[in-house]
Structures are given as C-alpha cells and as structure tokens.
Amino acid sequence: MKNFLIILLSVLLFQVMSAQQKDAKKIINDVINKFEKIKDYEVDIDVKLDMTGIKVPNMKAKLYFKQPDKIQVKSDGFAMLPKQSTNFSPSQFLQGDYTSVYVKTENIDGHNLDIVKIIPDSDSSDVVLSTLWIDVTDHVIRKFETTSKKSGTVTTELKYNKENQGLPSEIAFSFNAGNTELPQQLKGQNENDGNRRRSGQNISGSVIMKYSNYKINKGIPDSIFEEKKQD
C-alpha cells in the first residue's frame, strides 16, 4: 500500500511539473511564427449561413491577404462574412495587454491539443475571454471560443489540408449573439422576402465556410487592398 501511494504521488507530481513546463506564450508564438511564413495568399470561399428566422442564400467570395494585416474580400452581391473568416492570424487574439494561461493538453480526434486561455488586461476590451485549442505537432489553432461584450460567444472549429501550409480548408462557426440589432443589409433582405424580423430578437446560428484554390506567396499588389472611391 505504501509503495502504491508513493507511485501515485510520483505520477501526480510528474503531471503537475509537466503542466508547469508548458509556457502559454511559447505555444502561441509557435503558431505566430508558422503563420508569418505566409507572406500573402488568395483563396475562394463558399459560405453557408444558417441563422434563426433569417433566410440567406449560399454565398461565394474571394479573399486576399497580405502581411501584416491587409485583407480584402470580393463577392458578387451581398455577403455577410464573420470577422473570423477574414483573419486567420493568431495575433487577432493578442490585441493590447493580456494574460495567457496554459490549462492542459488533451487528445481530440487523434490530435494532441494544448488548451490556452487569453484574458485581456484592459476593462475596455470588448473581448472578455478567448480559449484556444492549439495542435501540439502542427502549431495551428484547431478550435477557439471567444466571448465578447457585444457579440456574445462564438465557437469556431477549423480543418486543415497538409498542402495549404497551415491555412484552413474549412471553418465552422456556431454563435449566440443574444439580443442584437441586425445589420441594415439583413433587415432589407428580410423585408424583400416577407420575413421581417424585429430588432432586439435573439440571434443565433451557424456558418460553414469552405476554402479552395489557395494561391500562397505568389505576390499580391497593394492596389488590391485600396478602397475604390464612390462616384
């Protein structure tokens, strides 16, 4: 019995020491360093949006990105793309001063994932808490959950293909924004299809975005990101 207790205490001590050896900032920096190897890319996006009480047709768009933060989305007609879909950079979670905490490592669908929580230090930040599930081997974010004051909680899962150099092939969102004012574009669309929705109603739903035809590090001119002047 005494030997069993010694072994058990040794295992528990090893687990504690292993957890302490995990540096949350290093885990995040490994993701950032991998992403920064992508100087620019363009990609086609197919979007399927399902929102409570709102009919939105499937959409197509083309996304352009250039380091460090230039983004342009082009689409025919109306496209309501979530902000997360136009920014794969892990730095989106690291705005301003923050505290990062390593929680644990767990295996999900055959992937060992480090779970890291990011807490903004400023009370003025819209984001309250972000939780990242980071692939230990591939150094990519496979899941994240963000809670903000204005938009509620959004849970996002990402899938990857090896040939995309760490850029996602599919992103699935689920969200519950609570009682939120709808964008004007959606109000107008609902009026046209006869499904008018009162502002202030609970908004929830899901989005599935599939990415294809990546062109990575081919060189994108800055003119792509310039705003066109309205006549």
Nearest CA to 143 among 121, 180, 116, 110? 116
Global confidence as pTM: 0.76
For each of the chain's 231 residues, which pLDDT tens digit applies? 555 545 545 555 555 555 557 899 999 999 999 999 999 999 999 988 887 767 778 889 999 999 988 999 888 755 556 555 567 788 777 777 889 999 999 999 999 999 999 998 888 888 889 999 999 999 999 999 988 887 778 889 999 998 899 999 999 988 775 544 444 444 444 444 444 444 455 667 788 999 999 999 999 999 999 876 444
Q: What is residue 229's DSSP assignment?
A: P
Give the model's pLDDT for residue 177. 57
Which two three-digit tokens encode residue 140?
A: 């990519």
Q: Give DSSP secondary structure letters for 91-144.
A: GGG--SSEEEEEEEEEEETTEEEEEEEEEES-TT-SEEEEEEEEETTT--EEEE
Task: Provide the pLDDT for residue 95.
Answer: 73
Question: What is the per-residue pLDDT across 85-129, written as a single tens digit (0 to 9) for each?
Answer: 567 788 777 777 889 999 999 999 999 999 999 998 888 888 889
* DSSP assignment letter at 198: -
